[in-house]
Structure 1
Amino acid sequence: MLSGLLALIFASAFAGAALYLVLVEQPARLALDDAAMIREWAPSDRRGFALLGGLAVATALAGLAAFSHGSDIRWLIGSLLVLASWPYTYFVIVPLNNRLLAASTTRPDADAREIVTFWGQLEWGLLALGVASVAVFAWTLS
């Protein structure tokens, strides 16, 4: 089933990108001084949002196509897990994004480092959703 395999591939790419973000990019960002950290964060956030959002949609579409071909509810569950990254991002992460974007246009405020650190901790939630989706898809394909 090609659509199921594509769902697993896209979900793995989503999880891999989220893993890179929390284990590589975030620690490197936190090693910078406050002003450089905020300047780096803003364009990185836009690119990361586009990448993870696009991979979530591609994963969900492939998973839903696999569900429509085989009617195995696990395809639907995996698709919903990765799609949950959208409301998670919107309701949990975007409020911090807005504070950080405001700080990037002016000078960083005193708590910018704390906000970026907390933002990085919240990104683990996206990794968890991606890994859960991969696990469900791999289980379905086994």
Structure 2
Amino acid sequence: MLGLLALLTASVFFGAAIYINVAEHPARLHLDDRAALAQWVPAYRRGFEMQASLAIISGLLGAAAWWQSDNPLWGLGAAIIILNWPYTMLLIMPVNQRLETTRLDEVNEETRELLLHWGRLHAGRSALGAIAAVVFLVAAWLGLQG
């Protein structure tokens, strides 16, 4: 059961992340630079809270499933979903901080470039979520076979 919950939360994480990459962020980029930044700031804060929580919960559930079942795939999936934390802190947070500290009256071409760069970096979060969900799915499938 713990593993299935890990799979569920990783899948929700992936769904939210990929939605941002294929719908929300491209739509935001159709706005002018000032409006795009004004929309990004509150959307990012809400998304961070949700995705950070899902990554932690999924990682803990995956680790618990590994401990319970002794199947290392659960541990691998847990490690991959938790990788979102260092990935975000090391690669995305510097861009986030620059965007968050940009005042609307200071928006310029660099702001647009930062938003584009942020979208590319966020795709890495989507990829980590997808990989973790697939690993959890394989672990669950193998658990049903045995």
TM bucket, shorter chain: over 0.9
TM-score, normalised to structure 1's length? 0.96
Checking the alignment, whether the CA contact within 8 Å between 1:4 and 1:137 is kept in structure 2 is yes
1:51 equivalent to 2:38? Answer no
C-alpha distance in structure 1 between counterparts of 2:12 and 2:109, whole Å: 35
Q: How does 1:85-104 map to 2 (within 5 A)?
A: 85-104=84-103
Which letter maps to 2:96? N
CA RMSD after TM alignment: 1.0
1:95, CA displacement in angstroms?
0.3
Write the distance in 1 (CA, Å) between the matches of 2:73 and 2:17: 22
Structure 1: gaps (5+ residues) = none
* Residue 107 of structure 1, CA deviation: 2.3
1:107-118 to structure 2, matched below 5 A, reads 107-118=106-117
How far the C-alpha of 1:109 sits from its partner, in A, is: 2.8
1:68: Cα distance to partner? 1.3
Gaps of 5+ in 2: 142-146
Tell me if structure 2 keeps the 8 A contact 1:78–1:136: yes
Q: How does 1:1-142 map to 2 (within 5 A)?
A: 2-104=1-103, 106-142=105-141
- Give the AA of the match of 2:41: A
Could you tell me whether the CA contact under 8 Å between 1:103 and 1:109 is conserved in 2? no
TM-score by length of 2: 0.93
Quick check: 1:12–1:134 contact (8 Å CA) kept in 2?
Answer: yes
Q: Which amino acid aligns with 1:18?
A: A
- Displacement of 1:61: 1.2
Q: Deviations over 1:80-102 (max 9, x none)?
A: 00000000000000000011111
Contact 2:13 2:51 in 1 (8 A): yes
- The count of aligned residue pairs is 141
